């Protein structure tokens, strides 16, 4: 069965985005500090058209997280653009330029209908207005037997986690404090929904905590 896999970077104080997220500052104030460990990697730089960078223990974690993924789900906030109905005069086609790095079907959770959007390199954005379970069904069907990646943001991740639909969760814990912003776990539930810590890999910049549902 195709698994729903979710990964997110979180600060020591539990934030997955800084405060005051905007089109100019999608990760919120200070939010890029959650991802410094990734920005430094050669594998990340290569995927974004840059050279150089490090190869370290995080490299294998990133490569593993990207392997065997046939479709992606993301929330409207992560896809970006102004909130509310989609503008046809000035369409927002995501953060990633003409050729997004997904190269497979991407399902965007939204309250506002929109026609599918085909980009270069095999990425298509399908806008789903009838809920998280519908998006998951569509993503599983599109994944062709591979897994589905839940890309975020925090709200989409919280909804799938709370519904018990996440099969694997990788938390990249950055050893920094943000002080404010958007928390991944904001109570009041203590339910891990069957996920258990199965692997930890640490570098001085990040601690990768992998949780999975035990068979």
**Contacts with its own copies, residue ranges (CB under 8 A):** 12-14, 30, 171, 173, 175-180, 183, 185-192, 196-198, 200, 202, 204-205, 207, 209, 211
Tell me which DSSP letter residue 67 carries. T
Residue 68 CB, shortest distance to its own copies, in Å, is: 24
Residue with tokens 């986690």, as numbered in its chain: 161
SS3 annotation, 81-116: CCCCCCCCCCCCCCCCCCCCCCCCEEEEECCCCCCC
Q: How far is the CB of 138 from its own copies (least distance, A)?
A: 29
Smallest gap from residue 151 Cβ to its own copies (A):
20
To the nearest whole angstrom, how small is the minimum distance from the Cβ of residue 13 to its own copies? 4
Q: 84 or 204, CB closer to its own copies? A: 204
Q: What is the DSSP letter of 41?
A: B
Per the CB < 8 A criterion, the answer to whether 37 and 174 are in contact is yes
Chain CA centroid to CA 14, Å: 16
Site of tokens 């904001």? 186
Query: Nearer to its own copies by C-beta: 55 or 198?
Result: 198
CB closer to its own copies out of 46 and 177:
177
Query: Which residue, 38 or 71, has its beta carbon nearer to its own copies?
Result: 38
């Amino acid at each position: 069965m195709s698994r729903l896999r979710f990964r997110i970077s979180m600060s020591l104080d539990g934030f997955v985005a800084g405060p005051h997220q905007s089109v100019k500052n999608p990760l919120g104030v200070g939010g890029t500090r959650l991802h410094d460990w990734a920005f430094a990697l050669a594998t990340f730089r290569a995927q974004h058209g840059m050279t150089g960078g490090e190869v370290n223990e995080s490299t294998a974690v990133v490569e593993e997280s990207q392997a065997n993924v046939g479709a992606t789900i993301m929330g409207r906030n992560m896809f970006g653009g102004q909130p509310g109905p989609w503008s046809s005069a000035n369409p927002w086609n995501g953060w990633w330029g003409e050729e997004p790095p997904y190269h497979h079907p991407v399902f965007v959770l939204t309250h506002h209908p929109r026609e599918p959007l085909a980009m270069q390199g095999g990425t298509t954005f399908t806008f789903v207005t009838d809920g998280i379970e519908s998006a998951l069904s569509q993503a599983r069907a599109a994944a062709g037997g591979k897994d589905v990646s839940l890309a975020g943001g925090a709200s989409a991740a919280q909804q799938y986690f709370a519904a018990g639909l996440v099969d694997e969760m990788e938390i990249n814990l950055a050893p920094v404090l943000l002080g404010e912003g958007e928390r991944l776990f904001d109570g009041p539930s203590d339910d891990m929904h069957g996920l258990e810590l199965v692997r930890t890999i640490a570098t001085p910049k990040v601690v990768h905590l992998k949780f999975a549902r035990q068979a």
